[in-house]
Amino acid sequence: MRPREIVPGVYYVGAVDWDRRLFDALIPLPEGTSYNAYLVQGSEKTVLFDTVDPSKTEVLLEYLEGVESLDYIVIQHAEQDHSGSLPVVMSRYPKARVLCSPKAIDLLATHLHVPAEALTAVADGEELSLGDKTLRFLHTPWVHWPETMSTYLVEDRMLLSCDLFGSHLATSDLFGRDEEVLPAAKRYFAEIMMPLRPAVRKNLEKLGTLDLDAIAPSHGPIHGHPSVIMNAYRDWVDGPARNLVVIPYVTMHGSTLALVEHLTGALAVRGVRVERFDLSTVDLGRLAVAMVDAATLVVATPTVLTNPHPAMMSALHLIGALRPPVRHLAVLASYGWASNVADVVISLTAGLKAEMMEPLLVRGSPRAEDLSRVDELAAAIAARHAEEGLE
């Protein structure tokens, strides 16, 4: 395979992973992913930006077959899907200097056993001349690890953004179509960046000053219209909540499902949109995406040994970690003889800045009076959404 030219002197040398369906043994990949590496050839120096996941090392090496020498290898992020092939590449190009952010030195030494003395730290804003091309290194911490950085190719007005603005999307296209990439990028944001919104906001402000013709992330296709993805990120970070209720639920004997069905209808007639997710079959990425916009989260679960169902417990741990910007949180639970569900939900979602509404617990199969209480919950949610002017 030959390197694929993006602009003169800048080439794609990464690997598309068409068949991978799970990331970190946690994140579903319905559309595969890619591990993007970029080769930049200036008139005097040549640089490789990032490597690929170890499972795709041979793909990278095949791309580099005609590259006789590298002056530098830049590792923008120490996680193995970007740095995992570094030891092999270093052995092929032993004279290349490895550049990274200061915080990446310890991480690369720890995860890949690369000697720390073989790594050179670059400062935030530091520039490196390749002859007719200039690199400007920009520290972009916590998108999504503390050592992450991006690189601005000054003359080409291209940002190599690492995980920021990425998408888990396998495609043969170098440049993505906005209508195809944005849903995948939103899913990526929800799964990876949502809990780090303050850091993302800060880095958006920093990168927003650049004159950009393209953004080349480390996953997914290149953004040929940078303002589209940057504006989308601004909306996902700080945009208004929507008139949307997200209901993750589990049902064992049908009681919780009956409550969810009634709540769904009661909200719909009040003009509130609902997205429901059965946790026995859910794609957790779809649940995460819905929570980017939702104003209200309703946790609906049966009780197992006084606690939420184990599938809900797992989802609650994830929700607590993702820290979605929901404004209101409600609990809808069924139980047989006793329940501690409300207290557990409150504990596991303590990091959310959300109003905890009055929990609604129902013993056994719901009766007419229980469904009346569900109507009251729907009315309370709709009233809050109306007061906040949500659309």
Pick from 33, 383, 64: which is nearest to 220 by CA? 33
Do residues 171 and 4 lie in contact, with contact meaning Cβ atoms separated by under 8 Å? no
For domain 242-384, say whether CATH 2.40.50.140 is its number: no
Q: What is the pLDDT of residue 378?
A: 98
Distance CA 151, CA 251 (A): 49
- pLDDT given for residue 289 in this prediction: 97
Structure tokens, 278: 């059965």
Instruction: Spell out the per-residue pLDDT of the chain, length 391, in tens.
Output: 899 999 999 999 999 999 999 999 889 999 999 999 999 999 999 999 999 999 999 999 999 999 999 999 999 999 999 999 999 999 999 999 999 999 999 999 999 999 999 999 999 999 999 999 999 999 999 999 999 999 999 999 999 999 999 999 999 999 999 999 999 999 999 999 999 999 999 999 999 999 999 999 999 999 999 999 999 999 999 999 999 999 999 999 999 999 999 999 999 999 999 999 999 999 999 999 999 999 999 999 999 999 999 999 999 999 999 999 999 999 999 999 999 999 999 999 999 999 999 999 999 999 999 999 999 999 999 999 999 999 9
Residue spans in the chain of domains classed CATH 3.60.15.10: 4-238
Whether the Cβ atoms of residue 215 and residue 159 lie closer than 8 Å to each other: yes
Neighbours of 120 (CB within 10 A): 12
H or E element in which residue 339 lies: none
CATH number for the region 4-238 comes to: 3.60.15.10
CA of residue 126 relative to chain centroid, distance = 28
The residues of the chain that CATH labels 3.40.50.360 are 242-384
Q: Which pLDDT value is given to residue 26?
A: 87
**pLDDT at residue 1, as a whole number:** 81
Q: What is the pLDDT of residue 365?
A: 95
> How many CA atoms, within 13 angstroms, populate the side-chain half-sphere of residue 294?
29
Q: How far is CA 90 from CA 39, 74, 103, 157, in A?
A: 15, 11, 20, 28
- What pLDDT score does 7 carry? 98
Q: Dihedral sign for Cα 203, 207, 208, 212, please.
A: negative
DSSP-derived secondary structure for 86-100: HHHHHHHSTTPEEEE
